[in-house]
Amino acid sequence: MAHSSGMIVQTGGSRPHVAYIMNALADTFPNIIWKIGGKVDRTTWGGGFSAHSVGRACDIYLDAGDPVDKRLGDLLLETFATHGYNFKVDHVIWNGQIWSRSDGGPSGYTGSGGAHRDHVHVAFVDDQLDILPFAFPWILEQYVLRRFVVDGAAADRSDGLYGKAFDPKKPNVRLSRKKRHATMLKKMGMTGAK
């Protein structure tokens, strides 16, 4: 399902609480996050139960190899861990780190699905997930966005200077920073500028 920004946000089949969080993330970071996955009928890589299969998990696609994406992923991991109990988070995995409600953390992670360097995985407890977390957008603004835009490059990407993080014609395709910069130059009439 396409978000109003054009980003793919796969909310179909996700519990209302999870879909609300997915849409809030897409509203806040359409120029950095390039896709958010939700309910998928599958097991984990190891063959175990997946919270995705019952609509209790989402994957926020970022690239840990990109400094700006990594900064956002780190802040999301920290925010979901800090506010995990308020937002019914069971566990969050990003870039070789995991925080879980049962074990705390973050601590090192090399489990099912690898280190999660291409997405932040957030799974939620099965507890009143039909109730919408109306405070979540405020938490994103207070604890993530304000800290994120301190870095000039992050500010450029969060305010859309370089454009969307995905190809509007093919929203399932991530655009590199170089490609987005070239698009920006073309829009400004500076094609071929060095």
Q: Does 99 fall in a domain? A: yes
What is residue 181's predicted lDDT score, i.e. its pLDDT? 65
Q: Does 1 fall in a domain? A: no
HSE-CB at 190 with a 13 A cutoff on CA atoms is 8
Q: Does 78 fall in a domain? A: yes
More confident residue, 144 or 13: 13
What is residue 31's predicted lDDT score, i.e. its pLDDT? 78
Taking residues 90-109, report their average pLDDT.
Answer: 96
pLDDT tier at 55 (50, 70, 90 boundaries)? Answer: very high
Taking residues 85-101, report their average pLDDT.
Answer: 96
pLDDT tier at 43 (50, 70, 90 boundaries)? Answer: confident
What is residue 187's predicted lDDT score, i.e. its pLDDT? 64
Count: domains in the chain: 1
More confident residue, 120 or 128: 120
Percent of the chain at pLDDT > 70 equals 78
Q: Does 125 fall in a domain? A: yes
Identify the domain containing residue 142 by its residue range. Answer: 8-187
Q: Does 81 fall in a domain? A: yes
Q: How far apart are CA 107 and CA 71, in angstroms?
A: 18
Q: How far apart are CA 103 and CA 58, in angstroms?
A: 20
What is residue 147's predicted lDDT score, i.e. its pLDDT? 76
In which residue are the tokens 């049962």 written?
Answer: 102
Q: Does 193 fall in a domain? A: no
